[in-house]
Structure 1
Amino acid sequence: MPTLIVMPGTGSDADFAARVFGTAAHAAGARLVALEPESDLFGGYRRQLDEFAADSDEVIVGGISIGAVIALDWVLQSPLADRCTGVLAALPPWTGAPGDCMAALSARLTADSVERDGLEPTIASMIATSPAWLADELSRSWRALASRGLVGQLRAAAGHTAPNLDQLAALPVPVGIAVAPDDPLHPAAVGRAWAHAAPHAAVREVPLTEFGLAEHLLGEACLTAWRAASSAATPAEP
């Protein structure tokens, strides 16, 4: 049985990642492992990925937003990545340096607000401008992560350089990408650029207005895209 190892987006946690990818893991016949972010965001994820991969014959890695970036980083860099058979990438945030990409800008502004105004006022401000489902989700996860390095995680993610297009072209495994055409923080064009650059990749769309109320739809879109990419990568029988 393969192990599907997934990571949440910045400011989110393992609980949400597990709900996003739970039904996809079941459909793929995989054991699901959702990783919690640590104060050392990237080092912590790399250590956890290596630990689980070392105990598995086959792994699929995935994530949401910066979690998808970390999944690609690991496949490109870890000596244990030869055990990986695919990547499920939900809502890619940027390619290469983040610059002023909306997801990075949002993370920086949230970190500034928590440091300047405090956690609860920042949550109140977020609630006032967010859909109810997102307000509920972020209120829960921000409070859960507040004592575990939330501000540092936000700043680390906002400054992290994702794989560039040349690096994506070296990906050795199929990639299934899910994009949301109505999500301004994660432009669908980024996910499509990832798919165009990677040797074996496919994209599926799922609107934010749909997966916001049924988060498993996002993971299922990744799985559907990965299966399409895997099929295209498999040589036809003679």
Structure 2
Amino acid sequence: MRPMVDLVGQTAVLLPGTASDEVFVRSVFEEPLAQVGMRLTAPATVSVDEHVAALDAAWTGTPLVIGGISLGAHVAAGWAVRHPERCAALLVALPAWHGPAGDAPAALVARASAAVVEREGVDQALAGVDGWLGAELDRAWRRHGPRLAETLRAAAESTAPEPDALARLRVPAGVAACSDDPIHPLGVARSWTAALPGAVLRTTTLAALGADRAALGRTAVLALLHALT
């Protein structure tokens, strides 16, 4: 049986994706969480080790609502698998793969971007990336400075939880995906949802995310609310 979770008054600790940042996490989740009476903690972490350390630091003896976007979701779910007693609920946005990254689209893009950054610089790596995504990457990538290529490559070699590990995590989980996102395929989100015993999947689109970053957060929070009913 899943534990009952009262979201009102809870703080959600949510982690950024590969070479992203806490600014994007806040733009996605701050408003939707506030609408259900929750607060957001968005650590300014970059590497997998830093993400894990932030979750360790947030643990004070009371189960946490945790999650993140893409790589951040992977790290949070993996932490919850290792420490199930510390997790009250999961918010998973845009999961990108199971297990080793391998040739997952997001990993391939990260490796290719790292190579261009090292060879030709950030400007060339961002060439042709327009609109809202270009603006987000331009801000976040430049903040990473000389760590950018290393950060991209390390993320592409990281491991997400396998389905059998997720199956042991009996907490409510809201899973959000963009139905038209080739980098974070909907099929991956569906497999995460099928593996997590207490998960509900809801979808939005890249167009909606581009118009309003909080569209993704609302989708994840709505999925979690449905998982709690």
TM-score (norm 2): 0.92
2:68 is the counterpart of 1:70:
no
**Counterpart residue number, 2:135:** 136
**Counterpart residue number, 2:193:** 195
CA distance in 2, matches of 1:121, 1:179: 29
Which amino acid in 2 is paired with 1:141?
A
For 1:4-153, what aligned pairs fall within 5 Å after superposition? 4-38=12-46, 41-54=47-60, 57-78=62-83, 81-123=84-126, 125=127, 128=128, 130-147=129-146, 149-153=147-151
**Misfit runs of 4+, over 6 Å:** none
Amino-acid identity (%): 38
1:137-171 Cα distance to aligned partner (Å, 9 max, x none): 10111111124x22221111101111111111111
1:83-117 Cα distance to aligned partner (Å, 9 max, x none): 42111111110111211111000000111111111
Q: 1:58 to 1:26 in 2, by over 3 A?
A: farther
Partner of 2:220, secondary structure, is: helix
Q: 1:58 to 1:3 in 2, by over 3 A?
A: farther
Candidates 215, 218, 229, aligned match of 1:217: 215
Which amino acid in 1 is paired with 2:139?
R
Query: Is the contact between residue 2 and residue 57 of structure 1 (CA under 8 Å) also seen in structure 2?
Result: no
Q: How far apart are 1:82 and its partner, in Å? A: 2.1
Which amino acid in 2 is paired with 1:86?
A
CA distance in 2, matches of 1:69, 1:28: 24
Q: How far apart are 1:37 and its partner, in Å? A: 2.3
CA distance in 2, matches of 1:92, 1:14: 17
Which amino acid in 1 is paired with 2:48?
F
Q: 1:62 to 1:84 in 2, by over 3 A?
A: same
Q: How far apart are 1:58 and its partner, in Å? A: 4.2
**Counterpart residue number, 1:170:** 168
CA distance in 2, matches of 1:206, 1:115: 34
**Counterpart residue number, 2:4:** none
Q: Figure out how many residues of one structure are paired with residues of the other and give that number.
A: 221
Partner of 1:5, secondary structure, is: strand
Q: How far apart are 1:194 and its partner, in Å? A: 0.7
1:55-106 Cα distance to aligned partner (Å, 9 max, x none): x73421111111110110110113xx52421111111101112111110000
TM-score (norm 1): 0.89
CA distance in 2, matches of 1:58, 1:70: 17
CA distance in 2, matches of 1:83, 1:109: 36
Query: Is the contact between residue 16 and residue 25 of structure 2 (CA under 8 Å) also seen in structure 1?
Result: yes
**Counterpart residue number, 1:235:** none
